[in-house]
Structure 1
């Protein structure tokens, strides 16, 4: 009798031990593989690996730029020095700062980018609201014309614009960018109009109906209710417009050839500033003597947008999601 009880207890113990190991194995399986394919540790490791590869591809030019800007001529000519210079020097940064005329060029570039971007936010939001909510005659025709302005490359209309601005005496002034922005024809304005149009169409009609019952006019309805709701869209449009105005080169090279030169034009002129004896087409040849200085100049140019994006990153990402661009 005692032997039978002992045997049964051993069986029960083995069953309990087996159940415990089975639970542990199940927990380990859930942790590694996950209840769904995308929940497990393996899937997360694969996602992090892919994100790290993509991040490296995007960051490698910036890392190379930062590494090169601190190199001496000896480190540039030494094939064994790739990322970390033997001697860190700030001389290239000083040369780039002086060659770009950085304070003046930064002021001009900021003036163009900030002013035109704010104007684009106001004008494009009004146009997008009109296309989304108001009963505008020939609305479909206007939408098609807006898309057409987005499809036409700027090189096609640059000569007529140059002639018009020249006759009006607006060359080498900010008005060559400000006037088109006021007229809804600024840089990538068609895209911004449709971003606002998409956002306003997603808002409930009950808000407008309640405001109209209270006697609100169309402008008060837009400025007091709809525009505050579109803060995320305004931020997205402002940042996109700011970056495009900051980085543009073709239009300033045509309209701002003298005096009022932004950073993009100063960067193009940097080689001549660093080497005044440069003649002919030799400027297209990579010059190892000035490569570090040009890398420093490029870094000084992209530094303000990077700082602005780091500060506004959270609101920018949420704005992208709310405006429906990711769809």
Structure 2
């Protein structure tokens, strides 16, 4: 009786531990509740770190001066004060800077996509003499900081007569040397390495040449990589204020080219000059600065949301596996 009682007790303990283990860690078919709580808790904490500044910026941008001085107003303003955005947009010269910024970031991004995709395809699909050396130079050029080549590049652009024009961004991208172009080449290289060789061989047997195989097979299958490159390239060019001021605007300051990030960098002085001539109704405060910051990042947020959806859908549609 004692041995039988001990055995039943051990079985109850075993099943209790087994249930607890399944509840915490789950099984092969189902995730455990404890594991899911830990994962979602970690994601919520990380998301809070990223979203808190955005929520604070948007909330503050709608506050008037009374709300800023009132300690009882924390997150929700007493009323939505839109004059901050009107004043910030006027000081930023929003629409002109927005469309110029689209050109400054969009044109080299388009060049990056076309040229870097061809270079990545060449590295992935062809064997030629000096390939490993060129790959090493490519990786080294990505490691090399921009500050090392900044002055020689400035002198070169000045001698070429393109300083203060959009060609200082577009021309290097057209030659495969755009902003962070090596990493885009490596993205396309890695993607094209996964395309099955039998597709290319079948197209070659059917009489398709090198360019026809590239445009008919490689490019349509590279939609996820293209969307990734578009997103990163556009964001990097859009946020690059120092090189934009140095190359596109030029140190002379006579160039008409600018973007919202550069305008935001000089926002305080621009707002003060506009207020001097009486074109602004409010004084410069934290709410106006937050409104200007919101206007500068709203285009990127919209583009990111659109491209993120397309990126996920393109992965679902591209059922390509490596060999």
Q: Structures share a fold, TM > 0.5?
A: yes
Confirm whether residue 305 of structure 1 aligns to residue 300 of structure 2.
yes
Deviation of the 1:147 alpha carbon: 0.9
Deviation of the 1:273 alpha carbon: 1.4
1:151 is matched with: 143
Could you tell me how far apart the structure 2 residues matched to 1:179 and 1:91 are? 41
Q: Deviations over 1:274-308 (max 9, x none)?
A: 12499xxxxxxxxx933211211111111111112
2:256 is matched with: 259
Confirm whether residue 274 of structure 1 aligns to residue 271 of structure 2.
yes
Q: Residues 132 and 201 of structure 1 are in contact (CA less than 8 Å); yes or no, is this contact kept in structure 2?
A: yes
2:232 is matched with: 240
Gaps of 5+ in 2: 1-14, 276-282, 319-323
Query: 1:71 aligns to what SS in structure 2?
Result: coil
1:18 is matched with: none
Could you tell me how far apart the structure 2 residues matched to 1:109 and 1:47 are? 39
What is the RMSD of the two structures over their aligned residues, measured on CA atoms?
A: 2.8
Q: Give the counterpart of 2:100 among 103, 108, 116.
A: 108
Q: Residues 165 and 171 of structure 1 are in contact (CA less than 8 Å); yes or no, is this contact kept in structure 2?
A: yes
Could you tell me how far apart the structure 2 residues matched to 1:320 and 1:170 are? 40
Could you tell me how far apart the structure 1 residues matched to 2:170 and 2:288 are? 32
Confirm whether residue 290 of structure 1 aligns to residue 285 of structure 2.
yes
Q: Residues 91 and 274 of structure 2 are in contact (CA less than 8 Å); yes or no, is this contact kept in structure 1?
A: no
Deviation of the 1:261 alpha carbon: 0.9
* Structure 1, 110-119 or 29-38: larger mean CA deviation: 29-38
Deviation of the 1:320 alpha carbon: 7.9
Q: Deviations over 1:213-271 (max 9, x none)?
A: 12221111111111111111111111111111111111112121432111111111210
Query: 2:88 aligns to what SS in structure 1?
Result: helix
Could you tell me how far apart the structure 2 residues matched to 1:311 and 1:27 are? 43
Number of residues of Structure 1 aligned to a counterpart in Structure 2: 291
Confirm whether residue 82 of structure 1 aligns to residue 74 of structure 2.
yes
Could you tell me how far apart the structure 2 residues matched to 1:179 and 1:136 are? 27
Q: Residues 231 and 307 of structure 2 are in contact (CA less than 8 Å); yes or no, is this contact kept in structure 1?
A: no
2:132 is matched with: 140
Could you tell me how far apart the structure 1 residues matched to 2:219 and 2:98 are? 31
Q: What is the TM-score when the length of structure 2 is the normalising length?
A: 0.82
Could you tell me how far apart the structure 2 residues matched to 1:92 and 1:80 are? 21
1:315 is matched with: 310
* Structure 1, 142-151 or 76-85: larger mean CA deviation: 76-85
Query: 2:208 aligns to what SS in structure 1?
Result: coil
Taking a change above 3 Å as real, the CA distance of residues 161 and 32 of structure 1, as seen in their structure-2 partners, is closer
Query: 2:162 aligns to what SS in structure 1?
Result: coil
Query: 1:164 aligns to what SS in structure 2?
Result: helix
Q: What is the TM-score when the length of structure 1 is the normalising length?
A: 0.81
Taking a change above 3 Å as real, the CA distance of residues 250 and 318 of structure 1, as seen in their structure-2 partners, is farther
Q: Residues 92 and 292 of structure 2 are in contact (CA less than 8 Å); yes or no, is this contact kept in structure 1?
A: yes
* Structure 1, 89-98 or 72-81: larger mean CA deviation: 72-81
